[in-house]
Chains A and B, each alone.
Chain A
Amino acid sequence: GQQVMQIPQYQHVQEGEDFTTYCNSSTTLSNIQWYKQRPGGHPVFLIQLVKSGEVKKQKRLTFQFGEAKKNSSLHITATQTTDVGTYFCAGPEGAAYKYIFGTGTRLKVLA
């Protein structure tokens, strides 16, 4: 079946450093979603990308969807302690609403 891999699994950065997590799907995705889960919390939607090569920005966060629509990335510029958490990508399997989540990247920011 479809697989969505995320790397790295863990990342520790000093506050102010940049951070990037990568998401790779074994199949082409119609769209991709990104979520953030704070420690002890629930996933919270960040963004959805739909178009090939799409780039969207939210303040210090930059999201990209690959040209082949099989990979995506989330880049955080100048991390802050509030960025701590696990970041997940998720894509639908086929045209349905059966969502496959990546394994997540846990970000720790050292002050």
Chain B
Amino acid sequence: EAQVTQNPRYLITVTGKKLTVTCSQNMNHEYMSWYRQDPGLGLRQIYYSMNVEVTDKGDVPEGYKVSRKEKRNFPLILESPSPNQTSLYFCASSRKGGGMGHEQYFGPGTRLTVT
């Protein structure tokens, strides 16, 4: 089954404790992206990756890091989480090509609370 998986699904942590949210897709997609969703603000892109070892900042990259060492995985790293990073996080993937966007497949989401 084609899917994007995220782990963990729920996480409560404390300020400053480094954490990683994993994202994996089994569709051989080149493009992957991280979004955060906050009430009234919709989905905001954090980082995206066009392919292995190619990443770029989205709209709200501050406080986050990503890496793309393998095509299927795109982990989101919070080196020193703060309460304003409490949010619902989604990973997404899609094909790339033709100079045009393609359907993005979203993971189930990770609800992060930083106290």
Contact = CB atoms under 8 A, between A and B. Distances in A.
Interface residues of A, number: 27
Contacts of B108: 41-42
Interface residues of B, number: 28
Nearest to A46: B103
Q: Which 3 A-B pairs have the closest CB atoms?
A: A101-B43, A103-B42, A45-B103
B74 interface: no
A66 B96 CA distance: 25
B59 to A, nearest CB: 7
Given A96-B56, A104-B42, A43 B48 contact: no
Contact of A97 (B31, B105, B107): B31
B42 A99 contact: no
A62 B56 CA distance: 34
Main secondary structure of the interface of A (DSSP, over half): loop
Contacts of B45: 98-101
A42 B109 contact: yes
Contacts of B104: 33, 35, 43, 45, 90, 99
Contacts of B58: 98-99
Nearest to B6: A42
Given A1-B59, A98-B58, A43 B101 contact: no
A16 B56 CA distance: 44
B90 A43 contact: yes
Contact of A42 (B33, B100, B107): B107
